[in-house]
């Protein structure tokens, strides 16, 4: 419900990113549900949100409709059960270990969550480890900023570009979650 609002992505922005190969996937249908997190909603409210956001993605032609990211990365048993009904995969912000393919539970994909407290050198180590071990590395960034990050969810644009350059130089394949599932992790 925030698409096309001031300071937010427009539908045209999302269509352009989709055309460039990004997954435009589910997160939450409404800002209210996002702010509360699915774990603070009744199961029927979570289900309504999941059904509505998935339908919106399909109606607008986005291929990432089968994947989601939990608001604030949070889930509980009820959320997991519903997610398994409506999505092939759902991403958390659990960063305790790297994800495997196939994942042990596609309803709770593990990630490398890049926040303002993660220096570029650590993010580069994640990439190098994944390259050396042939691991599936899911990197999560929330907001890229030109200057010094003011919130924990921000990361410097210059560091992001340096990380992208490292990945490009490494020769590692880069794919969206949707592409990984479509190709069986190859």
Burial of residue 135 (number of CB atoms within 10 Å: 0-12, 13-18, 19+): middle
Q: CA separation (Å) from 78 to 57, 82, 103?
A: 23, 6, 20
Condensed to tens digits (0 to 9), the pLDDT of residues 36-84 reads 999 999 999 999 999 999 999 999 999 999 999 999 999 999 999 999 9
Q: What are phi and psi of 64, to 5 degrees?
A: -80, 10
pTM attached to this predicted model? 0.88
How far apart, in whole angstroms, are the C-alpha atoms of residue 26 and residue 69? 6
Nearest to 184 by CA among 102, 90, 76, 110: 102
* Residue in the block written with tokens 């999941």: 50
Alpha helices by DSSP H, listed for 7-156, are 11-19, 31-36, 43-59, 77-86, 120-133
Condensed to tens digits (0 to 9), the pLDDT of residues 142-173 reads 999 999 999 999 999 999 999 999 999 998 89
Say yes or no to pLDDT of 185 above 80. Answer: no
Burial of residue 52 (number of CB atoms within 10 Å: 0-12, 13-18, 19+): middle
């Amino acid at each position: 419900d925030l698409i096309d609002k001031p300071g937010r992505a427009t539908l045209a922005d999302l269509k352009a990113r989709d055309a460039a190969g990004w997954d435009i996937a589910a997160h939450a249908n409404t800002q209210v549900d996002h702010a509360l997190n699915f774990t603070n909603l009744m199961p029927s409210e979570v289900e309504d949100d999941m059904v509505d956001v998935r339908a919106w993605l399909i109606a607008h032609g986005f291929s990432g409709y089968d994947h989601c990211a939990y608001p604030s990365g949070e889930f509980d048993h009820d959320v997991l059960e519903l997610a398994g009904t409506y999505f092939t995969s759902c991403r958390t912000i659990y960063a305790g270990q790297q994800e495997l393919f196939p994942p042990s539970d596609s309803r709770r994909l593990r990630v490398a969550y890049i926040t303002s407290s993660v220096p570029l050198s650590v993010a580069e180590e994640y990439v190098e480890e994944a390259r050396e071990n042939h691991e599936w590395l899911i990197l999560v960034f929330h907001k890229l900023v030109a200057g010094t990050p003011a919130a924990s969810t921000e990361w410097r644009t210059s560091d992001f570009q340096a990380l992208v350059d490292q990945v490009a130089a490494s020769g590692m394949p880069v794919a969206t979650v949707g592409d990984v599932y479509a190709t069986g992790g190859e």
